[in-house]
Amino acid sequence: MTEHHPDDEPTPDEARSKAPAGDAAIEAAVESIAFHPVFDVIAETVSADETPAGDKATKSKKERRAGATLRTFLLSRGFSRGLGVVGETLITLGVMVMLFLGWQLWINDVIITNESAAVAEENATKWTSSTTPTSTSSEAAVIDFGPAPVMSKVANTKVFGNVYIPRFGDDYIKVAAEGVEAEGTLNRGYFGRYPDSQLPGEAGNFALAVHRSGYGDPFQSAPMLRTGDLIVLQTASGYYEYRVRNTEYVMPSQVEVVNAVPGGANTAVVGQSVMTITTCNPELGNAERLITYAVMVGWRPKDAGPPKEIESMVKA
């Protein structure tokens, strides 16, 4: 027994076998939609709205006409072509969004990581003294190098330092630059200094902003920081040592965290030098800010060499 009956009329699929496979598939799909019982219901509803009840002949005529018009439209070549164009456009846009995400979270991330690492290494080479510290390391630990000099302010987007955080690994070296605009500082994976905050070595708050994820993921591991963790800022003149005091989650509008006294008055208290780092929270999100506070605990001039904990991180 065979499925094929030669006296059968060719099915619509057979009739269109010469058309490209894609068009035939689309038309078959449209056909199955067009003959869906829902259009009979639509046709009835349309005629019921427009026809006085009881006029049976007119109603069935109108009903048939409405259903036929819909079917003719749905089966038309133009409609199926249009549907195809809409579908392909949506697929294309979807692919573009996926490409963008791949670019932003992976490719651009790697590019910016490498670029900022190159700048940081160049800085480290430039700012590390070639003279060997004369004192032994045990002596160096107790030497007081006096009050830290106030770092001189640099122009907007200019690089002024390197940031070392041993908690994030031996290879954690990031760049610090002036200003918190996306272009020029933050989107290069740098720490950016709030221009109205105080400078390192000055009484008050040295406030920085940094991206948490993306742009080289400069502060992705922020929640790993513990009280007492070392954060070192290396500049052309030496090393400013800070220790993490605490962290806080705040709303983006809570600008008082970058005040001279974080969360308090915007007037510096003599003898109090703190650092505030603002980053976004949650990771990849933007609803809140994760704030890390650190207190300045020491200073070493360039010629004294880096603090022991970051000796292996600073490339001479």
Partner 1 sequence: MYVALWKVLPGPLWARILIVVSGALAVLAALVFFLFPWVDRVLTQSVVVAS
Of 123 and 213, which CB lies nearer to partner 1 in the complex structure? 213
CB of 41 to partner 1, least distance (A): 33
Of 45 and 89, which CB lies nearer to partner 1 in the complex structure? 89
Binding site for partner 1 (CB under 8 A): 20, 22-23, 84-85, 88-89, 96, 99-100, 103-104, 107-108, 180, 182-183, 186-187, 194, 209-212, 214, 250, 252-255, 257-258, 278-280, 284-286, 289
CB of 183 to partner 1, least distance (A): 7
DSSP string, the chain: --S--TTSPPPHHHHTTTS-HHHHHHHHHHHHHHTSTHHHHHHHHHHHHHS-TT-HHHHHHHHHHHHHHHHHHHHSHHHHHHHHHHHHHHHHHHHHHHHHHHIIIIIHHHHHHHHHHHHHHHHHHHHS-SSPPSS-HHHHTT----SPPPPPP--TT-EEEEEE-GGG-TT-EEEEEE---TTTTGGGT-EEE-TTSPPTTSSEEEEEE--SSSTT-TTTTGGG--TT-EEEEE-SSEEEEEEEEEEEEE-TT-GGGGSSSTTS-SSPPTT-EEEEEEEEESTT--SEEEEEEEEEEEEEEGGG---GGGTTTS--
Of 76 and 286, which CB lies nearer to partner 1 in the complex structure? 286
CB of 65 to partner 1, least distance (A): 33
Of 2 and 253, which CB lies nearer to partner 1 in the complex structure? 253
CA distance 83 to 9: 28
The number of residues making up the chain comes to 316
| Sequence-ordered list of residues with C-beta below 8 angstroms from that of 45, at least 6 positions apart, any chain | none
CB of 247 to partner 1, least distance (A): 14
Of 280 and 296, which CB lies nearer to partner 1 in the complex structure? 280
Of 84 and 301, which CB lies nearer to partner 1 in the complex structure? 84
Q: Is the peptide bond before 282 cis (omega within 30 degrees of 0)?
A: yes
CB of 179 to partner 1, least distance (A): 10
CA distance 201 to 273: 7
DSSP string, 153-180: P--TT-EEEEEE-GGG-TT-EEEEEE--
CB of 64 to partner 1, least distance (A): 35
Of 280 and 313, which CB lies nearer to partner 1 in the complex structure? 280
Of 147 and 282, which CB lies nearer to partner 1 in the complex structure? 282
CB of 100 to partner 1, least distance (A): 5
CB of 229 to partner 1, least distance (A): 20
Of 80 and 237, which CB lies nearer to partner 1 in the complex structure? 80
CB of 263 to partner 1, least distance (A): 11
